[in-house]
Amino acid sequence: MTEETERIAKLESEMTEVITQLESEMTEEVAQLEPVPTEETTREITQMAAEHKKTNPERRMSKSNESFGGIDSNIITFKHAEIITKWIDNLEITDELTSSYEFKLLISGSRDGFSPEKFHKICDNKARTLTIVKVKGGNEIIGGYNPVVWKSKSSYGTASNSFIFSFKNDDCILSRVKNERSAILNNSSYGPSFGNGDLVLSGNNSYSGCCKRGSYEKSIRGTGDTFSVEDYEVYQISEDSCSIF
């Protein structure tokens, strides 16, 4: 067995052990379902939205003419950031921007190293963070949005609006959380990780990862194989006070 094979087997074994432990500690809860809007309510909302657009033409024009900025990344472009911003606001990628965010870089693998300990030291107890990962050996970018805080203690974080994603060539995949109780995977031995194995980063001095669908709608990679990380960045997101949006 080669050193790389042993490392991959160890990662998969550790991930299985942690997830099994967390699942055994979780209790069952009945989800509170939102009432389904009636046809009449839907028509009223649609009419109100149309009237709002008619009465705010200048504001809509300023948004469409304003170029997107606010992030200085070694991994993603402004276009990627614009798409992610729309996902945070629950918009389609063809919709107009309704918000502008400031992306504050907290940690970078190429700058700060690849250490779960360093990640948790810097990012624990910080909410609304965006993780960006450059997969080694290709043009694939993956990541996730965590609206709640990171923790070192082995636990799941509950979140209703977290999501994971991938960009490859001109294609992108968005996968929103399905099981809110296991949206975020907290563990002192892991870097930023999501769900029940949906996106897990582990290792010291270098990160390896894997993506296997568990708590999110769909897998963000075409394979569940382990991959190596070329670089990663974690940003904290806040409203851009300087924006005209």
pLDDT tens digits, one per residue of 173-184: 999 999 999 999
| Contact in structure between 11 and 208 (CB atoms under 8 Å) | yes
In three-state secondary structure terms, 41 is helix
Stretch (H or E) spanning 146: strand 140-146
Return the structure tokens found at 199: 């996106």
- Helical packing angle, 39-55 and 57-65, nearest 10°: 80
Return the structure tokens found at 93: 């990628």
> What was the pLDDT predicted at 239?
86
> What was the pLDDT predicted at 134?
98
Task: Report the Cα 242 to chain-centroid distance in Å.
Answer: 25
> What was the pLDDT predicted at 70?
67
pTM over 0.85: no
Nearest to 191 by CA among 223, 143, 159: 143
Neighbours of 235 (CB within 10 A): 27
d(CA 166, CA 168): 7
Reduce the secondary structure of 87-134 to three states and give it as a string.
HHCCCCCCCCCCCCEEEEEEEEHHHHCCCHHHHHHHHECCCCEEEEEE
> What was the pLDDT predicted at 99?
85
| pLDDT digits (tens), the chain, 245 positions | 666 666 666 666 666 666 666 666 554 543 444 455 556 655 555 565 555 444 444 333 333 334 345 688 999 999 999 999 999 999 999 999 988 899 999 999 999 999 999 999 999 999 999 999 999 999 999 999 999 999 999 999 999 999 999 999 989 999 999 999 999 999 999 999 999 999 999 999 899 999 999 999 999 999 999 999 999 999 999 987 654 33
pLDDT tens profile 35-81: 555 566 555 555 655 554 444 443 333 333 343 456 889 999 999 99
How far lies 240's CA from each of 56, 101, 102, 226, 237, in Å?
21, 5, 5, 37, 9
> What was the pLDDT predicted at 98?
86
